[in-house]
Amino acid sequence: MSLSTGLILRLEPLYMSDIKKVVLAYSGGLDTSVIVRWLQDTYNCEVVTFTADLGQGEEVEPARAKAEALGVKEIYIEDLREEFVRDFVFPMFRANTIYEGEYLLGTSIARPLIAKRLIEIANETGADAISHGATGKGNDQIRFELGAYALKPGVAVIAPWREWDLTSRETLMKYCEEHDIPVDFSNKKKKSPYSMDANLLHISYEGDILEDPWAEAEDDMWRWSVSPEEAPDQATYMDLTYEKGDIVAIDGKAMSPATVLEYLNKVGGENGIGRLDIVENRFVGMKSRGCYETPGGTIMLRAHRAIESITLDREAAHLKDELMPRYAKVIYNGFWWSEERKMLQQMIDESQRYVNGDVRLKLYKGNVIVVGRRSEDTLFDESIATFEDDAGSYDQKDAAGFIKLNALRMRIEAGKGRDLS
């Protein structure tokens, strides 16, 4: 008898009309406030709000009153900064992760944590669905939903932007009026023309004039960093201390993961570091222009490569480099909670056992300059590399045999008359 006869995916075909309770990723802003009301009205269900402090730089506590005003009874407001950096940002940086040669994945890496908490809260509150405010054109819907499905396969997902017809600012404002959504939810200060996302790792900008990739970003768009021009004329030096691939102290002072990143953001931003302006390929198949400020991440990437440069085995480093684009793609596409990410992480983490030591940096007007690296675990051996006498630790004659055997296959081919030029 086969052991595989049972149904695995016992999904009662869940009719959307059956939904009783939904957990919403709630920012407290206008859009997600509209979503609260829209969910209540459309699905006739209870809404649980979840608001997280991931270091976006705005108070999260005000979301409570707003949610209450919308009749929400279960309100989750949490400070996830340490968990975010320790369990998501740091593991990602161990791989020197960059998407498409440029992007430090600031948005991508925050989504799996939000997905995880949405599902945990759904389990705690007995909710059968989750919801979010991401549009149907972007990557974030995918990251939220893949995470949710991976952690709770029978969950229902409601993505209002893919369902409703409130597709313009006007229709949205009209909905507010008609549904008694308090006016002050809408930001009174001049609204940024950009679509933005922020967390402790970065802030991103999309839309408006950025939709023309030939148009230079305006200088007043940027919020976290001064321009290189406005940065101090004096360089800032800094020592970072690594243990197993993670920064544990700066200038000799031990710091928690979130504190490390906050500090690097501050100093990096002051020195004009971490601005990026790119066109990237979304998982949904289109190209999009994005501007990003990642001061701390830009510093961490450079410094991590520097500490690895003296502590990591060559083939380990090359294996990591060859798999990095794939690992980046896994994260960018939203597959953090997957077997392939776990496998890659195991491999990466294994390599970091000896990635300990100090990196000295010079920060100056947008530049992150590595000026020194040292480690008890260094593999750099002056006595071998030296141009001076090496006391016999390396026999130059070995190189002749090394080259001869590396050349053998090509010599045979050329000997057969093959043209290798």
- Say which of 37, 111, 289, 302 is annotated catalytic: 111
Task: Examine the residue annotation and report whether 140 is marked as an active-site residue of this protein.
Answer: yes
- Say which of 31, 239, 349, 390 is annotated catalytic: 31
Task: Examine the residue annotation and report whether 251 is marked as an active-site residue of this protein.
Answer: no
Question: 195 labelled as ligand-binding?
Answer: yes
DSSP string, 37-61: HHHHHHH--EEEEEEEESS-SS-ST
- Say which of 53, 94, 131, 140 is annotated catalytic: 140
Shortest gap between Cβ of 283 and a copy of itself (angstroms)? Answer: 8
Closer residue to a copy of itself, CB minimum distance, 65 or 279:
279
- Say which of 192, 195, 309, 338 is annotated catalytic: 195
Task: Examine the residue annotation and report whether 111 is marked as an active-site residue of this protein.
Answer: yes
Question: 385 labelled as ligand-binding?
Answer: no
**Of 236, 238, 298, 241, residue with least CA distance to 270:** 236
Structure tokens at 296: 């701390």
DSSP-assigned letter for residue 192: P
Closer residue to a copy of itself, CB minimum distance, 257 or 272:
272
CA distances (Å), origin 308, targets 99, 305, 316, 348? 20, 5, 10, 12
Closer residue to a copy of itself, CB minimum distance, 59 or 402:
402
Shortest gap between Cβ of 334 and a copy of itself (angstroms)? Answer: 8
Query: Please, which residues have CB within 8 angstroms of residue 5's CB and are 6 or more apart in sequence?
Result: none
Phi and psi dihedrals of 353, rounded to 5? -55, -35
Task: Examine the residue annotation and report whether 195 is marked as an active-site residue of this protein.
Answer: yes
Question: 204 labelled as ligand-binding?
Answer: yes
Question: 87 labelled as ligand-binding?
Answer: no
- Tell me how far apart the alpha carbons of residues 253 and 196 are, in angstroms, rounded to a whole number: 33
246 dihedral zone (left: phi>0; alpha: psi -120 to 50; beta): beta
Question: 30 labelled as ligand-binding?
Answer: yes
Strand ranges of the sheet holding 195-198, from the earlier edge strand across to the other edge: 195-198, 203-206, 287-293, 275-281
Shortest gap between Cβ of 71 and a copy of itself (angstroms)? Answer: 28
> Could you give the 3-state DSSP secondary structure of residue 190?
coil
Shortest gap between Cβ of 155 and a copy of itself (angstroms)? Answer: 9
Residues annotated as catalytic are: 31, 111, 140, 195
Known binding-site residue numbers = 25-33, 52, 103, 108, 133, 135, 139-140, 143, 195, 204, 280, 292
Known binding-site residue numbers for L-citrulline = 103, 108, 139, 143, 195, 204, 280, 292
Known binding-site residue numbers for ATP = 25-33, 52, 133
